[in-house]
Amino acid sequence: MEKRVLFKHIDDPEQVTVKGYVSNGGYRAWEKALKSMKPADVIDEVKRSGLRGRGGAGFPAGLKWSFVPKGSPRPSYLICNADESEPGTCKDRELMECDPHGVIEGIAIAAYAIGSHISFIYIRGEFGGPIRAMERAIEEAYAKGYLGRNIFGSGYDLELIAHTGGGAYICGEETALLNSLEGERGMSRIRPPFPAVEGLYACPTVVNNVETLSTVPHIINNGAAWYTSMGTEKSPGTKIFSLSGHVNKPANYELELGTPLSYLINDLGGGISGGHRLKAIIPGGSSTPFLLPGQIETPLDYESLTEAGSMLGSGGVIVVHDKTCIVWVIERLIHFYRHESCGKCTPCREGTGWLEQLISRIERGEGTPGDLEKIDSICDNIMGRTICPLGDAAVMPIQSTLRLFRDEWQYHIDHKSCLVKSEFEFA
Amino acid sequence: MSSKNGDKVTLTIDGREVTVPKGITVLEAARSIGIDIPTFCWHPKLKSVGACRICYVEIAKMPKLAVSCATEVMPGMVVHTESEKVRQGRRAVLEFILLNHPLDCPTCDKGGECDLQDHTFAHGIDDSRFDFAKYRFIRDKKSTFDDFRLGPEIIRNQNRCILCYKCVRANKEVFGEYDIGAFQRGNSTEIDAAPGQEIDSIYSGNLVEICPVGALTNTDWRYKIRVWKTQTANSVCQFCADGCNLMLWKDRDRIYRATSRCNDGIDEGWICDRGRYGYQVTDAGGRLTTPLIKRGERQEPATWDEAVALIARRFKEIKDKKGGVCIGGLVYPGLDSASLYAFSKLFRTVLSSNNVDFRTDYKMLPEKKDDLYTLMTLQKFSIADIEKADLVLVIGSDLINEHPITNLRVRKAVTRNGAKLYTLNPFATKSGDISVDEMIHEVGTIEALINGICISIIEQKLAPSGPDTSRFTAMIEPNRLEDASRLSGIEDKRIISLAKALGAANNISLITGELLTTAIARENIAAAILNLAILAGIPGQGQIGFLSKYANSKGAERLGVMPHLDSRKISRLKDLWGEYPEHEGMGADRLILSAKKEEIDSILVIGCDPLSCYPDGQFVREGIEKLDFLVVADLFETRTTQAADVVLPLSSVAESAGSFVNLEGKVQQFDRAIKPIGQTLPGYEICNLIASELKGPLYDSMKALQEETVKLLEAGDTPELDPVFHEVKLAVEKPDGDYNVPLYVVDQLHHFGHLTEKSQSLSAFCNEARLEISPSLAERLHATNGTLIRIESEVGKVILPVFISENVDNEVALVYRNFSATPVNVLQMRKRRVDYVKLTRVEEK
């Protein structure tokens, strides 16, 4: 069943206001952290909670914070990554729109933990609603003294600056985000140096996802032990899953980690739409490899999904029913990645373009023998050879379907048409 | 890349164990033992970005191929640079890059020196699996090969571009310019000029030079010749005193381009556009190719024999009748050392005259021995050491304009070392994107400002313990901070903050430039600066550089091409020649004044054009007209050659071997690139011909001349400066009524001296004298770019079009001295510290 921690007050229309948020217990964690905890205590608590990054990579949050060098002469920055652009993922958007103060409180506590006095929230440019909600909430938080100078009389100052992105998927990648925030072209940087050492304006920087930061106040309020009592041993806590695709009730659902995929799709999502049968699932946003119907009992946690050959990613679960041509699905995806490749490193820039040309030709019924081998080999030349994970993200779904649905691909080339005629309407 | 006290790392590359400094990359480690890893986007002077991926290597225990340009060496690393996996990875990258590459090598100017050609050749790729039509970027359908102009000298062909971003990165990282960028995204990315802009910075040519393919080409080289048909000659730039090392590319006595011949001590592989395109002066039309002798009103061609015989006869007559003191010589300090030396030797040993000077565009100079300014120019100074500074103080210099490459080192100190930069100038100068505390002082009050800083250092108790400061304030005026602040117009708290910064700094580079060199008050300012240097702890805590202007100003100083030499130099010359004239010599200003008074009968001018350049054009004309006999050697016809009785055709720098002494005092040899054009001769041969006719040759052989010259140059002393304070007197001149806008005669950014206007490429950037003013002054004059303005001083007037500068922000008028059509020296008064002018708009009728 749903386990609402982040979504506890999501249906309360007053939650977006500072008054409503406070009456629901908001900003207590911020006050507690400032008044009774040292930054190191905050980091410890979050470390012990086992909270992992919810943006896709799943890196332990407390550990990331502890990489910020102590006593550096340069300022450090906390950045909330709200450039949610992964196809199939829309959880941060709902958090920002319906619980913006929760995001702010998380940012504030994290900033305090790493000794940052200037923080940013980088919001996806297309997010009209969330941008308005966040800006309004930040204004209120300043007015009430939760941000600004001498917060809660503790002597601690914190600025929070909302920055709107220009509409590029790549800017959700943390180093590209840093470039974009600095006013540069949004292109990834090579690592090392890692942002924790040399990030924004070459200063120590932590970039965390909206959902990750929104979880922090709950951990501070209730303690690490409470948090680890949920989820599994290695993937504690709850996670929001954005369920989309061919299901009857697509929506964001918050579940304890480790809940079986079937529960999300069938019990909460109301099963496959149109009375069709399940064909495949993308479990963690469009960048993750496909799962097959036989894997529907896989628990939704970091380790189990990796074991199943895919990834938890951002938690964007995309369901595909059996009246869907897989070549068509992949064509949509590669079009997206080609369009969003930043153009910095050669394999991704050139490879995604070539892949799109090849896959479109197959989809149009103009594929030639050898195209599949060529696609596979191009994918090999991109995988693991790019600066940032966009290249990997582009090829993982392709290679996964080449393995899982080889017959459909081959049929497309041999018969110049789909093995499975798509039976659904799409916008 | 730091390698602090023995911090070394040992690793294995291709089976060879190598120990390298910690912190360097695998690529650099491999190169250090001669293993060449291919690169496109890597550049030794830029930060690694790991974009092109061609430099893959395989490192044991790492599952993925690593980009060697961005992988730091680690102890015990085992690296393979040529394994099958590596070669496969590189082939894949080349396949990707070549997908849409036009392969138009037969018509591409980069052919033969293209990294993409070379790496493809090395990896044996002769087929592509890409079976789609190649993507074409087309911006301008009218021109061939999709060529698109990005700036006066840069053409882009986007189809050839492999998106290594080196041009964009260098522009930003090294030059601080933002006029080129990437547009669009992914494989549609294009390199283009910023919207509505052209790429016309002083460093623009470097963007072409570092392009690994033929995407950026410059107009001088393109479609003219294949690189393998050319030969190269080592050269040194003649268009400022930085001394950048150049390579001239030539075929059969024609030069096709100049590129950098990287010298890490000076230029680090970057050259400015003056240096890059200035070579075109040699080939420009209109060179003087034969001697000319004035017969009646006309100058008619003559042979060298006739010309030299005439010169010798007239010089002899004058010398016999009135003495050699009635003959004088003016020489261009951009000539090679041997010519400068031969010039001095001709005057002092053959004509027995000390009237020689190389300072032909300065105002009245103090004429005495051992002047403080000259002592300061002899101080040890190193361009490379600037980058170690934690504070750079620039006094009286538009550095980017005067010394574009030294400016890069200052920028590097700021961007890489976090140095603080302060500038003290009478008008704002371009500092690019770096943070600078720019103090724009009232014109002609620099010594007051410097005194203010000195006083603050003492008041803040930051002075070093050695020098006795008790009497200091009695020696200077003004001697109170508030007076210094009021006179200079700089708030006292800014002066104090600079004083504190100087006190806190451990390594200061103090740099001065042309605004000081050419100032009448330079001796006084030099004294003020010396006081400041002592109080800032220099030389113990840094260095001081009085930067000379011309390519061989320093050589001219060392060789003694000045009327007054110190006793050590005189005795050295006496030893060498067995004689030295006793009489007091005359510098440029007194020489012209004496000509006007008919005390000087003849002047020999080599390479300069005082009629267009020496301050107060009218004064020079009156002097020159009174001469009995004027001999002028130059590359082109100038106002001064027009007035000459004998004109001699001079060779350019590219036409003879020689040496220059750069602003650091480094003696740098350069080769002859092509044989002299027409009957031109280098300066030393001209001097020798005259000497031979009069008395006997100046030297037995070229070798002997070179040896004598080098001996003198290498005897370059660096006199210790006593840490003793000097008196500083205040001499502020007030503007006179209507004439109230301060005038500065400067070089246009893309020009230098009177020769560069002959370079076609440099003229493409700017080909006319202009009046450069601030936007606010332009608004007051109701002027936009190109509006004609009448510039009047008490002595002359000129009409020039306006150029509104983004940099200048106060009320000053800058005019360019580089264009023969409009000599602006008519506006200057030789005795004035600051010239003031009146500006009025020329109303259209």
C-alpha dihedral over B188, B189, B194, B197, to 10 degrees? -60
Whether A341 contacts chain B with CB within 8 A: yes
Give the tens place of pLDDT for each residue, B682-691.
999 999 999 9
Closest approach of chain A CAs to the CA of B94, in angstroms? Answer: 9
Backbone φ, ψ for residue A318 (5° rounding): -110, 120
Domain boundary (B520, B546, B572) is at: B546
Residue A262, C-beta contacts closer than 8 angstroms, at least 6 positions apart: A296, A297
Q: Are residues B526 and B564 in the same domain?
A: no
Confirm whether B734 is domain-assigned: no
Return the higher-pLDDT residue of B6 and B451. Answer: B451
Confirm whether B727 is domain-assigned: no
Q: Are residues B194 and B256 in the same domain?
A: yes
User: How far apart are the C-alpha atoms of B653 and B237, rounded to whole Å?
Assistant: 9
Residues of B whose CB is below 8 A from A339: 185-186
Q: Are residues B572 and B684 in the same domain?
A: yes
Biggest CA pair distance of chain A: 73
Which one of A190, A349, A385 has the shortest CB-CB distance to B186?
A: A349
Whether A354 and B48 lie within 8 Å, measured CB to CB:
no
CA B268 to chain centre: 14
Q: How far is CA B442 from CA A25, B225, B402, B488, in A?
A: 63, 53, 21, 5
User: How far apart are the C-alpha atoms of B332 and B356, rounded to whole Å?
Assistant: 11
User: How far apart are the C-alpha atoms of B538 and B530, rounded to whole Å?
Assistant: 9
Closest approach of chain A CAs to the CA of B47, in angstroms? Answer: 11
Interface test mutation site (partner B, options A191, A338, A349, max chain B beta carbons within 10 A)? A349
Residues of B whose CB is below 8 A from A190: 48-50, 67, 70
Confirm whether B156 is domain-assigned: yes
Residues of B whose CB is below 8 A from A352: 186-187
pLDDT band at B251 (very low <50, low <70, confident <90, very high): very high
Residues of A whose CB is below 8 A from B171: none
Q: Are residues B606 and B490 in the same domain?
A: no
Q: How far is CA A308 from CA A239, A267, A292, A297, in A?
A: 19, 21, 10, 11
Instruction: Match 């005629």 to its residue by tokens.
Output: A421
Confirm whether B763 is domain-assigned: yes
User: How far apart are the C-alpha atoms of A345 and B50, rounded to whole Å?
Assistant: 7
Residue A1, C-beta contacts closer than 8 angstroms, at least 6 positions apart: none
Confirm whether B637 is domain-assigned: yes
Q: How many CB pairs under 8 A join A and B?
A: 89
Listed residue (B805, B811, B820, B816) closest to B838, CA to CA: B811
Domain span holding position B113: 105-120+129-283
Q: Are residues B589 and B630 in the same domain?
A: yes
Residue B829 sits in a domain whose CATH number is 2.40.40.20
Confirm whether B377 is domain-assigned: no
Closest approach of chain A CAs to the CA of B518, in angstroms? Answer: 41
Domain spans in chain A, listed from the N-terminal domain onward: 13-228, 238-321, 326-415
Core vs surface per residue A211-231: b (16+ CB within 10 A) or e: bbbbbbbbbbbeebeebbebb
User: How far apart are the C-alpha atoms of B666 and B776, rounded to whole Å?
Assistant: 43
Whether B828 contacts chain A with CB within 8 A: no
Contact status, residue A168 vs residue A180, Cβ threshold 8 Å: yes
pLDDT band at B328 (very low <50, low <70, confident <90, very high): very high
Whether B96 and A384 lie within 8 Å, measured CB to CB:
no
Cβ neighbour number for residue A116 with a 10 Å cutoff? 25
Which one of B70, B93, B185 has the shortest CB-CB distance to A190?
A: B70
Residues in chain A: 427
pLDDT at B145 (0 to 100): 58
Listed residue (B428, B409, B429, B410) closest to B420, CA to CA: B410
Tokens of A183: 């006013």
pLDDT at B379 (0 to 100): 85
User: How far apart are the C-alpha atoms of A202 and A188, rounded to whole Å?
Assistant: 14
Q: What is the DSSP letter of A233?
A: S
User: How far apart are the C-alpha atoms of B491 and B494, rounded to whole Å?
Assistant: 6
Biggest CA pair distance of chain B: 92
pLDDT at B142 (0 to 100): 63
Which one of A351, A357, A385 has the shortest CB-CB distance to B65?
A: A385
Tokens of B382: 């190193």
Which one of B70, B182, B187 has the shortest CB-CB distance to A185?
A: B182
Which residue on chain B is closest to A383 by alpha carbon? Answer: B64
Q: Are residues B751 and B688 in the same domain?
A: no
User: How far apart are the C-alpha atoms of B845 and B843, rounded to whole Å?
Assistant: 6
Cross-sheet strand order for the sheet of A238-245: A251-256, A238-245, A316-321, A278-282
Q: How many alpha carbons fall within 13 Å on the CB side of residue B811?
A: 14
Q: Which amino acid is at B361?
A: D
Q: Are residues B257 and B406 in the same domain?
A: no
Interface test mutation site (partner B, options A350, A379, A392, max chain B beta carbons within 10 A)? A350
Q: Are residues B264 and B309 in the same domain?
A: no
Cβ neighbour number for residue A263 with a 10 Å cutoff? 18
C-alpha dihedral over B15, B20, B22, B28, to 10 degrees? -80
Report whether pLDDT(B92) > 70. yes
Contact status, residue B99 vs residue A338, Cβ threshold 8 Å: no
User: How far apart are the C-alpha atoms of B191 and B161, rounded to whole Å?
Assistant: 8
Residue A374, C-beta contacts closer than 8 angstroms, at least 6 positions apart: A358, B129
- For helices B481-488 and B492-504, the axis angle rounded to 10 degrees is 110
Report whether pLDDT(B5) > 50. no
Residues of A whose CB is below 8 A from B49: 189-190, 344
CATH architecture of A238-321: Roll (3.10)
Which one of A192, A339, A386 has the shortest CB-CB distance to B186?
A: A339
pLDDT at B845 (0 to 100): 61
Helices (H) and strands (E) in chain B, counts: 29, 33
Whether B92 and A349 lie within 8 Å, measured CB to CB:
no
Contact status, residue B720 vs residue B378, Cβ threshold 8 Å: no
- Classify residue A209 as left (phi > 0), alpha (psi -120 to 50) or beta: beta
What is A326-415's CATH number, 3.40.1710.10, 3.30.2130.10, 1.20.1440.230, 1.10.3720.10?
1.20.1440.230
Whether A385 and B53 lie within 8 Å, measured CB to CB:
yes
Residue B341 sits in a domain whose CATH number is 3.40.50.740
Cβ neighbour number for residue A79 with a 10 Å cutoff? 28
pLDDT band at B471 (very low <50, low <70, confident <90, very high): confident
CA A269 to chain centre: 20
Mean pLDDT of the B36-50 span: 96
Which residue on chain B is closest to A370 by alpha carbon? Answer: B129
Instruction: Match 């406070």 to its residue by tokens.
Output: A22
Core vs surface per residue B422-457: b (16+ CB within 10 A) or e: bbbbbbbbbbbeeebebbbbbbbbbbbbbbbbbbbb
Tell me how many degrees the CA angle B309-B310-B313 measures, rounded to the nearest 5. 85
3-state SS, residue A310 = coil
Helix (H) or strand (E) holding A353: helix A346-363
Cβ neighbour number for residue B750 with a 10 Å cutoff? 29
Q: What is the pTM of this model?
A: 0.93
Q: Are residues B667 and B797 in the same domain?
A: no
Domain boundary (B496, B526, B546) is at: B546
Q: What is the DSSP letter of A55?
A: T
Question: Which spans in B47-83 are helix H?
Answer: none
- Distance in Å from the first CA to the final CA of chain B: 64
User: How far apart are the C-alpha atoms of B420 and A124, rounded to whole Å?
Assistant: 37
Q: Are residues B522 and B444 in the same domain?
A: yes
Contact status, residue A149 vs residue A115, Cβ threshold 8 Å: no
Whether B128 contacts chain A with CB within 8 A: no
DSSP strand pairing (B420-425 vs A251-256) = unpaired
Report whether pLDDT(B519) > 60. yes
Which residue on chain A is closest to B133 by alpha carbon? Answer: A357
Residue B47 sits in a domain whose CATH number is 3.10.20.740
Confirm whether B10 is domain-assigned: yes
Q: Are residues B532 and B572 in the same domain?
A: no
CA B579 to chain centre: 36
Residue B260 sits in a domain whose CATH number is 3.30.70.20
User: How far apart are the C-alpha atoms of A317 and B250, rounded to whole Å?
Assistant: 66
- Classify residue B53 as left (phi > 0), alpha (psi -120 to 50) or beta: left
pLDDT at A427 (0 to 100): 42
Backbone φ, ψ for residue B391 (5° rounding): -150, 130
Which one of B48, B63, B96 has the shortest CB-CB distance to A347?
A: B96
Question: Which spans in B587-642 are helix H?
Answer: 588-596, 610-613, 617-625, 639-642
pLDDT at A426 (0 to 100): 54
Confirm whether B517 is domain-assigned: yes
Give the tens place of pLDDT for each residue, B581-606.
999 899 999 999 999 999 999 999 99
Listed residue (B570, B731, B559) closest to B659, CA to CA: B559
pLDDT at B770 (0 to 100): 96
Domain boundary (B283, B318, B341) is at: B283
Tell me how many degrees the CA angle B166-B169-B175 measures, rounded to the nearest 5. 115
Tokens of A296: 């529907």
User: How far apart are the C-alpha atoms of A309 and A401, rounded to whole Å?
Assistant: 12
pLDDT at B809 (0 to 100): 86
Whether B46 contacts chain A with CB within 8 A: no
Per the CATH hierarchy, to which homologous superfamily does domain A13-228 belong?
NADH-ubiquinone oxidoreductase 51kDa subunit (3.40.50.11540)
Facing residues of A236 across strands? Answer: A231
Q: Chain B window 55-94: which residues touch A at a Cβ cutoff of 8 Å?
A: 56, 63-65, 67, 70, 72, 89, 92-93
Low-confidence ranges of chain A (pLDDT < 50): 427
What average pLDDT does chain B have? 93
- Distance in Å from the first CA to the final CA of chain A: 32
Closest approach of chain B CAs to the CA of A371, in angstroms? Answer: 10
Residue B141, C-beta contacts closer than 8 angstroms, at least 6 positions apart: none
Q: Chain A window 346-375: which residues touch B at a Cβ cutoff of 8 Å?
A: 346-347, 349-354, 357, 374
Whether B182 contacts chain A with CB within 8 A: yes
Contact status, residue A45 vs residue A223, Cβ threshold 8 Å: yes
User: How far apart are the C-alpha atoms of A321 and A274, rounded to whole Å?
Assistant: 9
Tell me how many degrees the CA angle A200-A206-A212 measures, rounded to the nearest 5. 140
Report whether pLDDT(B724) > 90. no
User: How far apart are the C-alpha atoms of B418 and A381, rounded to whole Å?
Assistant: 40
Q: Are residues B536 and B577 in the same domain?
A: no
Number of structural domains (chain B) is: 5
